Amino acid sequence: MTVSIETLGEVALVTVDNPPVNALSQAVRAGLSEAVDTLDADPQIRAAVLICVGRTFMAGADVREFGKTPQPPALSDVVNRIEAATKPWIAAIHGTALGGGLEVALGCHYRVAVPSAKVGLPEVTLGIIPGAGGTVRLPRVADLEHAIEMITIGRPIGAETAHAYGILDAVVEGDLKEDTIAFARERLRDALPLPVSKRPVPQVSEEGFWEKHAARIAKHARGQASPLRALEAVRNAVELDAETALAKEREIFVALRDSDQSAALRHVFFAERAAAKLRELEGIVPREIKSAAVIGGGTMGAGIAAALLDADLPVVLVEQDEAGLERGLANVRQIYDSAVKRGRLSAEKREAKLSMLAPSLHYAALSDADLVIEAVFEDLDVKRSVFVALDSVVKPDAILATNTSYLDPNAIATPLSRAENFLGLHFFSPANIMKLLEIVKAEATSPEVLKTGFALAKRLGKTAVLAGICDGFIGNRIYKTYRRQAEQLLLDGCQPGDVDRAMRGFGLPMGPFEVQDLSGLDIAEFQRKAARARGETVLAPIADRLCGLKRYGQKTGGGWYDYEAGNRMPIPSETVAAIIAEETEQAGRTAKSLDDEIVQQRLVFPMINEAARILEEGIARRSLDIDLVEIHGYGFPRWRGGLLFYADQYGLEKILPALEAMAAEGTANAPCPFLKDASAKGGFSNLTTGD
C-alpha cells in the first residue's frame, strides 16, 4: 500500500511508502486524493499529518513516467484537493522535499521539518518548471527574490533557511512523527488557515525588476529554456490572479515536458545514476578508505588533495624535497584561502581541513595509507620510479592510482608486485572543482579495486565514468579532435573570435581558443611533441608558431588573443591574424565566410565521429558514458544531453552526409563504420553496447 491512513484520535496519520524516494507515482497521487476524501468525510478526524517512510519525503513526480501518457489524477489536482480539505493538513518533512513533493507540502496548511531536511523546486534542472502550483504558491509563503532564485536555479535549501524564508512553519528537533502530531493537536483550536494559493502575493514596484532578472538568468542559462520560462511563470503569479497563473503554469509545464531539452536533461539525470552501474561490479563490496596520500604537490596534486580533504579524508602530501613540499602546501592553502575570500568557506573550516593535511618527504609515511594517488610530472620513467618506491612501503591492500592523462597505465604499473590494486583515477583541473573522474581499468585491476574507485568518486561528489586505455582515454581523445577541427577552421577563413562566439552560442561557457588561452597553449604543445615523438602526424601549424613565439595564453599576456596586464578580457590579435593568413596561404586554402551553425557542425560532428570510434573500440562502454564525460569534463551543454544524445536528437542521418562532405574537402575524417551502423539502427540510444 503506497498510501495508508492510521487514526490517532482526532489526528490521522497519512503515510506514503514508495521506495526509493517516494516519487509521486500514479498510485501515490491516487492514494493521496482518496485520503483527502476519506478524512474529510470522517467526523472524528480534525487534522491530518502527511509523512513518508524511508530515506526521504516525496522527492517529486516520478520522472520515469515522463514521456508516457499521463495517468490521472494529475498532481496539480491532488495538490488543489489537499489545499481545499476542510481540515488542516500538516506536512512532516525529512530528507528532501523536492519538486512535486514540496508542491504537495505547499498545498498543505502547515509544513514541519527536521533540521537535516532540504526543500526545493529543481524542475528547471530537468528542463521543465514546477507543474503543480509551485510557481504560484512559493511566492505566497517566501520572499519574492528567494522564490525566484529557488524556482529559476532549482537548488534545494536547508530547513533552517526554509523556516527563515517562511516556507516551513516549524523545525522540530525530536521525533518528526511525534512532534508533528503534537504540532497538529496544538492547531486544532485554530481556525483553518487561508490556503496558500489564496494568500496575497508581493507586488513589484521596482522599475525593470523582471527585465533585470531575465537578463541575469539568460546569461547563466546559455540557451537552456526552462529557467526563463520559470521566471515567466513567477511573473504570472505576481501579476495575474492565482487561478489564471496556475493555468498558465500548467501550459508552460506541458510544453517544456514534451521538449527536446527536457528529454535531454532527463537523459542526463538517469545517466548520472547509471554510470557506476556496471554488470561486473554488481555485488562487489568496495574497500574502506579511511586515509589517503597524494604524491606530487603541483596544480593537479594540490587539487586532488583538496578534493580528498573536502570528503573528510586525512591526506599525506609527499614531495621529493623541502622546496617542492613548501610549494605543494602553499598550493593547497591557496585553494582554501580563495574559498574563504569568496565567502564559500569559513576560516574555521579552512583550518579544520588543513589540520588533516600532513606533509612528508618520506614514502615510509605511507605504510598505513588505504589509498595513494600519484600526480607527478607526466613522464613514464618519473611515474614508474614513484610506484617502485611505493611498492616497497605500502600495505598489501593499499590501492595505488595514477592521475596520468595521456600515458598508458599498464606501462606505469609494470614495477608493481600487486598490480591488481592499481588503477587510473584521471581527475580534471581544478581537481577539487571539476565533477568528472575518468576511472581507468588497467589490465590487472581487480573488480574490488574498480568498485572502490567508483565508491570513492561518489564520496568526492564526482561523476565517475569507466574509461579504457588509449591515447587521451575518452575525454582528451575527443578534445584532440575538437582542437584539430578548431585550427582547421582558422585555415578556412575564421578568426579565433568567430569560432569561440559560435561555440558559446552552442551553449559552451567558452570557445576552444579562449579555453586554451586560460589553461595554457604549452599543455597541448607538450602533447604534440609526445605524439610526434611516437611518429604521429599532428596538424597544428598556427599553434606551433604561437608556441614558437612563447604565446602560451593569459599567463604570457598573449596566446590566441592578446591581453592587457591584469585583464582576462581577450583582445583580437593582429599578430595571430597575420600568422593565420600566412598559414592559410601556405596550406593552399581559400578563406570562406562560414556562419556560426557551420562552424558548430565542423567542430561537433567530427567529435561525434571520434566518439563513435571510442565506442567501437570499447574504450567507452556506453554512449551515456561519453555524454557524461563531455558534460562534466568539457562544458558540453547539459540541456543538449551530451555529445551522443545530441547526435541522436539532431539525427545521424543528417550528420553522416555532412561528415562525408567534410571528408571530401579534407576538413575531417570520413564517418567510421560504427557511426554508419548507429545511424542505420536509428541512433546511439538503440545500440546495445556494454551493460
**123 or 319: whose CB is closer to ligand T1G?**
123
Q: Among 22, 32, 47, 62, which residue interacts with ligand T1G (rule: CB under 6 A)?
A: 62
Helix (H) or strand (E) holding 171, with range, is: strand 170-171
182-200 per-residue burial string, b: 16 or more CB within 10 A, e: under 16: bbbbebeeeeeeebbbeee
Query: Which of the ranges 55-63, 324-332, 358-366, 600-608 carries the binding residues for ligand T1G, by CB under 6 A?
Result: 55-63
Minimum distance from CB of 134 to ligand T1G (Å)? 6
Q: Supply angle C-alpha 654, 658, 662, rounded to 5.
A: 170
Residue from 48, 49, 98, 201 in contact with ligand T1G (CB under 6 A): 98
Q: Residues in contact with ligand T1G, total (CB under 6 A)?
A: 25
Alpha-carbon distance of 573 to 496, in angstroms, equals: 9
- One-letter amino acid for residue 667 of the chain: T
Neighbouring residues of 71: CB distance < 8 A, sequence distance ≥ 6: 26, 65
Closest separation in Å from C-beta 159 to ligand T1G: 15
Q: Which among 465, 561, 470 is positioned nearest to 513, based on CA atoms?
A: 561
Please state the closest distance from residue 270 (CB atom) to ligand T1G, in A.
6
> How far apart are CB 58 and ligand T1G at their closest, in Å?
8
Residue 100 is a binding residue for ligand T1G (CB under 6 A): yes
Which positions ≥6 away from 615 have C-beta within 8 Å? 622, 623, 626, 674, 684, 687, 689
Task: Examine residue 580 and tell whether it contacts ligand T1G (CB under 6 A).
Answer: no
The helix/strand/coil state of 540 is coil
Residues in the chain: 691
Region for 191 from its dihedrals, namely left if φ exceeds 0, alpha if ψ lies in -120 to 50, beta otherwise = beta
**Interacting residue with ligand T1G among 11, 28, 45, 59 (CB under 6 A):** 59
Q: Pick the closer one to ligand T1G by CB: 126 or 456.
A: 126
Q: Which of 35, 50, 63, 580 binds ligand T1G (CB under 6 A)?
A: 63
Q: Are 122 and 155 in contact (CB under 8 A)?
A: yes
d(CA 625, CA 604): 17
- Residue of 36, 45, 78, 132 interacting with ligand T1G (CB under 6 A): 132
User: 34, 65, 123, 583: which one is catalytic?
Assistant: 123
Considering 83, 103, 272, 319, which one is annotated as catalytic? 103
Q: Is 103 a catalytic residue?
A: yes
- Does position 249 interact with ligand T1G (CB under 6 A)? The reply is no
Query: Within a 13 Å sphere around the CA of 329, how many CA atoms are in the beta-carbon half?
Result: 15
φ, ψ at 562 (rounded to 5°): -95, 155
For ligand T1G, the binding residue among 3, 28, 49, 61 (CB under 6 A) is: 61
Helix (H) or strand (E) holding 401: strand 399-402
Nearest to 474 by CA among 333, 616, 339, 374: 616
- When asked if residue 155 is in the footprint of ligand T1G (CB under 6 A), the reply is no
What DSSP state is assigned to residue 148? H
Cβ contact 509:222 at 8 Å: yes
In the set 96, 291, 405, 481, which binds ligand T1G (CB under 6 A)? Answer: 96
Region of 54-62, 105-113, 166-174, 653-661 interacting with ligand T1G (CB under 6 A): 54-62
Report the residue from 31, 131, 472, 541 that binds ligand T1G according to the rule CB under 6 A: 131
Residue 475 in the binding site for ligand T1G (CB under 6 A):
no
Whether 87 contacts 52, CB under 8 Å: no
- Decide if residue 124 touches ligand T1G (CB under 6 A): no
- Examine the residue annotation and report whether 123 is marked as an active-site residue of this protein: yes
Residue 68 touches ligand T1G, criterion: CB under 6 A: no
Q: Please say whether the beta carbons of 490 and 497 come within 8 A.
A: no
- Binding of residue 82 to ligand T1G (CB under 6 A): no
Three-state secondary structure call for residue 175: coil
- When asked if residue 130 is in the footprint of ligand T1G (CB under 6 A), the reply is yes
Interacting stretch for ligand T1G, rule CB under 6 A, among 123-131, 143-151, 368-376, 664-672?
Answer: 123-131
Asked if 99 interacts with ligand T1G (CB under 6 A), we say yes
Please give the residues from 15 up to 44 whose contact with ligand T1G meets the rule CB under 6 A.
20-21, 23
Residue number with CB closer to ligand T1G (95 or 472): 95
132 or 371: CB nearest ligand T1G: 132
Subset of 265-284 contacting ligand T1G (CB under 6 A): 273
Beta-carbon count within 10 A of 660 CB: 12
Contact residues for 393 (Cβ-Cβ < 8 A; gap 6+): 363, 364, 366, 367
Cell numbers representing residue 198 in the block: 489564496
Please identify, using beta-carbon distances, which residue of 125 and 679 lies nearer to ligand T1G.
125
* Nearest alpha-carbon partner for 117 in 143, 154, 92, 149: 92
**Cβ closer to ligand T1G: 268 or 490?**
268
Q: Is the dihedral of CA 587, 589, 591, 592 positive or negative?
A: negative
Which range in 120-128, 279-287, 294-302, 661-669 contacts ligand T1G by CB under 6 A? 120-128
Residues that bind ligand T1G (CB under 6 A): 20-21, 23, 56, 59-64, 75, 96, 98-100, 103, 122-123, 126, 128, 130-132, 134, 273
Active-site residue list: 103, 123
